Structure 1
Amino acid sequence: MTPVLVSSAGRRGALVRAFRDAGAVVHGCDMQPELSSGCMLADHAHQVPRCTAPDFIDRIEDIVRANGIRLIVPTIDTELMAYAEAAPRLAAAGAYVHVSPPEVIAVVRDKTRTMEVLAAADLPVPDTCSEAELRAEPDRLGWPVFGKPVGGSASRGLGSYDSFAVLPDSFPEPMMFQPVLKGPEYTVNIFVDRAGQLQTVVPHLRIQTRAGEVEKGRTTRRADLRALAEGIVRALPQARGVLCFQVIDDAARGPRIIEINARFGGGYPLAHHAGAHFADWLMAELAGRPSGASDDWRDGVTMLRYDDAVFTG
């Protein structure tokens, strides 16, 4: 059995189970592991400092060396750069970090830069401007506009504004603005093998979301969304492993890419149940075997999430 560390395990119980089913002894880590259902469902749990703390990687390396961890799986945006920069160090300690290189993380963690890189690759993205640009030219996007933090995640700081008059006088962090898009939203889960080849593209319709994660979704095979995935991999040729991106299929403009997450998405369990076993494929690559990744997954699979509980003591 291969020891795997799911970082910032939080509520990622389904991801823990996916790696256990793939043949892993699963370790979870979190700031308060005793309050993390993902950690409690793991075989072993570890306490770590916040991922922005100066000793975060020191603690991760200690866990790796003490437990023979072979694979580290980050799960939140804010820890990606720390892991990307520390990947060589952690590899020397014996663990492969499932993360794209820092050059890729720098793009996807800056939503304005993401839009610029994708637009330069002729991929469809919404018109985008900074707060300063919007204030200097209020009608450049039309109204209403949608604002979000440049470095945001987990739906933090999102807002829709019907006119310049209701725009706040200031924001607590750098913001970007786009026209309000109207239409169904999709998450597209992709798997890029270690050779940089796009192997799998699994879109799912986000029927209903909660706190930024899909609560009800349905796999939907669409050639146009696969073409967008191919374009993203061309635009970010160093991307590796599991990524996901969001698309709004605007009624007037057509599909528009709104962001990329270089990690397992919260809706991964739907892709896994439909036959896209990313966890198994990463484990196969770790063992030096062909991943077995393919695009053979089931269309029309619906996920209906519900609240469950983990009890301790």
Structure 2
Amino acid sequence: MNILISSAGRRVSLVRAFQKELKKVYPKAKVYASDANPQLSGACQVADGHFKVPMVSDPDYPESMIRQCREHDIQLVVPTIDAELLPMAINGDLFAENGIKAVIASEAFVEKCRNKREIHRFFEANKVAVAHEYSRDNYQLPLFIKPIDGSRSIDTYLIEEEEDLTDYHFDNDKLMFLEYLDHKHYDEYTCDLYYGKDHNLKCIVPRKRLEVRDGEVYKALTVDNVLIPYIKERLSHIEGAVGCLTSQFFKHKAEDKIYGIEINPRFGGGFPLSYLSGANYVKWVIQEHFLEETIEEQFDCWERNLLMIRYDDEILVHGYTG
């Protein structure tokens, strides 16, 4: 009953959480990690074993993953980056034919999440407000520009003056011109949502983002606020949603305004705070996908006002050959 954390990169805390929870149930089971360059991956170094896989864009990626999973007796795969979600969802049947389960949403829902414009339509259909999208010839400053398929804050721009706009912004059809939600007036939250195999919402942990580096949270606080009933009312069931969904919301500091920003159907980089607060999504994944147990709603299982302050640490790899 081995598990793979794919594209593990820096997800040391996630690997350790799966090691801890898996070995409570199967003491001899292992948590593996894969990466395009495992020798330079901290998560691969702390895993029980690791192996190299092609880049997600490589046509051989799915077949390579399956070969490695069969070789290492891996029955469950947990993806961690946006780029691998759609290839895994598309090849879900192929994985299943080889005795491998991937904890991933349906292909249709992943496609929505990978397109920011589509996820805006999804939010609006579920009565969640979104930032207004301007046309190229009719916009208001300041505005926020981001790609429809981006991640990690890459290719995003805050435009405050007309001269900040360039031909690149106007000519790139993938860029969205959006109403700017000023952090002076809005707090930014990442909410870890858990959906069971029945696609019903089981838990919500809002994490207030206090400091972010390279698109990943470094300081955050668990908060019990209006986001919990707001999300429960609107997103209690999402067809195709499975496991941890990392969703982003902006909440106005003084007024009754909430905006949905995006959903990433995977464990996010800041998930360790939710896990350490008591929201044991890792355990629930094992219970559902290995033990065939049903997860009940557990909205009060986590510690409120828990502050996480992350820091850099060292992992030494002896005998590195490059």
Q: What TM bracket, shorter-length normalisation?
A: over 0.9
- Counterparts of 1:156-171 in structure 2 under 5 Å? 156-171=154-169
Q: CA RMSD in A?
A: 1.6
TM superposition score normalised by structure 2:
0.90
Q: 1:12 and 1:204 mapped to 2: Cα distance? A: 18
Cα shift at 1:91: 1.3
Following superposition, the deviation at residue 310 of structure 1 comes to: 0.8
Count of equivalent residues: 304
The alignment status of 1:202 with 2:205, answered yes or no, reads: yes
Matched-pair contact (CA < 8 Å) for 1:188–1:225: no
**Corresponding position of 2:67:** 62
Q: CA deviation at 1:50?
A: 0.6
Matches within 5 A, 1:76-87: 76-87=81-92
Shift of residue 289, structure 1, vs aligned partner: 2.1
Matches for 1:31-70 after TM superposition, within 5 Å: 31-70=36-75
Q: Any unmatched runs of 5+ in structure 1?
A: none
The equivalent residue for 2:117 is 112
Does the CA-based 8 Å contact 1:64-1:93 persist in structure 2?
A: no
Separation of aligned partners in 2, 1:31 and 1:201: 32
Superposed displacement of residue 243, structure 1? 0.2
- Equivalent residue runs for 1:227-242 within 5 Å: 227-234=230-237, 236-242=238-244
CA contact (8 A) 2:79 2:103 kept: yes
Where does 1:3-42 land on structure 2 (aligned, <5 Å)? 3-23=2-22, 24-42=29-47
The 5-angstrom pairing of residues 96-245 of structure 1 reads: 96-129=101-134, 133=135, 135-138=136-139, 142-171=140-169, 174-182=174-182, 183-234=186-237, 236-245=238-247
Distance in structure 1 (CA, Å) of the matches to 2:308 and 2:63? 38
Residue 304 of structure 1 pairs with residue 309 of structure 2: yes
Runs of 5+ unmatched residues, structure 2: 23-28
Q: Separation in 2 of the partners of 1:21 and 1:293?
A: 23
Residues 117 and 201 of structure 1, relative CA distance in 2, 3 Å threshold: same
Question: 1:164 Cα deviation (Å)?
Answer: 3.4
Letter of the 1:289 partner, please give it. E
Gap change, CA 1:233 and 1:202, over 3 Å in 2: same
CA distance in 2, matches of 1:173, 1:65: 41
Q: Structure 1 residues 291, 225: closer, same or farther in 2, change over 3 A?
A: closer
- Cα distance in 1 between the residues matched to 2:229 and 2:66: 37
Query: What amino acid maps onto 2:294 in structure 1?
Result: P
- The one-letter code sitting in structure 2 at the alignment partner of 1:288 is E
Whether 1:247 aligns to 2:249 is: yes
The secondary structure found in structure 1 opposite 2:235 is helix
Per-residue CA deviation, residues 79-125 of structure 1 (Å, 9 max, x unaligned), is 10001011111111111101000100110000011111211222111
1:233 is displaced (CA, Å) by: 4.6
**Offset of residue 68 of structure 1:** 1.4
